[in-house]
Amino acid sequence: MRTAAVLRPALLVLLVSLAGGALAACARPATQAATAAAPGALGEEERAHAFADTLRARILAIAAFTELPNDSCNPGTLRTFPKDTIEAARAGTDAIVERLERLIVTQGVENSLDTPEAHELLRTVVLWEAGGERPRWDVGTGGPDRRAIAPGMVGEFRNPATGKCESYVDIDTATVVVPQVTNFRIPEVEGVRLSLYVGEAGLKEARDRFFAQVGANDPNSLFTYTRLRAAVVWRDYAVVAVNRPAESRGVRPLSTGAGGASYLFHRVGNEWRLLAIARSWG
């Protein structure tokens, strides 16, 4: 089951600006930390952070949880906005989510991804995308403890013929490409051979290795992978954009990929929690 299939309609629009503009800029090698800002600038950032907290509180206030069919296959929970309509969504919830998204990017686009917090964020998304542990939903104090749904086509369903939980797709192997970082610790995913590559050079290596193994001239060869296209970390907020392409013979992207998504995260203690699936496409 694709994530996009159960999201509210307003979130099914592909926003190509995530692959370009300010957010894509963070896919470049991380810049050095800026020099100390003037007191006025620090005050401005504090005001921006307070506004981010306000936007988060508004998202939590208008959100609800939709429980998917409850069985041992652990389908997870989806955050929904039941008061939205297609017409009102962009002026309401969508506008709030996009405003927070833009604020995080504006404030954090120059921040380095080579920090313990940023590396932990990337590991959280890699685990989730590769069929490992799912992030918890961000909630207010005393809120319910719920795990997110499986992304893309990852996940399980109960086979009516066998009564057993089976994967939608075979995920004994997973190829993931992360932004340019150094000394990144590859997480382990039970039952999955995870191959992780870093940056553009890593993607080229993964692509070349795949087509060297299957044969570049094989018309049936299909290279599929998950790419953390961009990530921005600003204090205890973050944005991550993910694409799940499919390529034929290493050069032609196909429509048979598993789509992509943009996620908003909020850090609680030492844990990155999912605040919202800003948009998802198939």
Predicted pLDDT at 10: 31
Radius of gyration of the chain (CA): 19
Which tokens sit at 2?
A: 């694709």
* 155: region left, alpha or beta (phi > 0 left; psi from -120 to 50 alpha): left
In a domain, 254, yes or no: yes
- What distance in Å separates the CA atoms of residue 101 and residue 79, rounded to the nearest whole number? 17
Predicted pLDDT at 78: 80
The Cα-based distances of 60 to 9, 79, 128, 253, 271 in angstroms read 19, 10, 22, 37, 18
- What distance in Å separates the CA atoms of residue 147 and residue 273, rounded to the nearest whole number? 9
Low-confidence ranges of the chain (pLDDT < 70): 1-42, 68-72, 74, 83-91, 152-160, 163, 165-172, 215-219, 249-258, 282
In a domain, 32, yes or no: no
**Tally of structural domains, the chain:** 1
In a domain, 162, yes or no: no
In a domain, 34, yes or no: no
In this structure, the dihedral spanned by the alpha carbons of residues 271, 274, 280 and 282, taken in order and rounded to 10 degrees, is 60
Which tokens sit at 77?
A: 């929970």
Predicted pLDDT at 97: 92
Predicted pLDDT at 93: 77
Which tokens sit at 272?
A: 């990155």
In this structure, the dihedral spanned by the alpha carbons of residues 213, 215, 219 and 221, taken in order and rounded to 10 degrees, is 10
DSSP state of 231: E
- What distance in Å separates the CA atoms of residue 178 and residue 184, rounded to the nearest whole number? 9
In a domain, 33, yes or no: no
In a domain, 182, yes or no: yes
Predicted pLDDT at 71: 56
Predicted pLDDT at 238: 98
In a domain, 185, yes or no: yes
Predicted pLDDT at 9: 31
**Other CB atoms within 10 Å distance of the CB of residue 259:** 20
Predicted pLDDT at 4: 33
| Structural domain span for residue 213 | 3-27+44-157+171-281
In a domain, 118, yes or no: yes
- What distance in Å separates the CA atoms of residue 126 and residue 208, rounded to the nearest whole number? 21
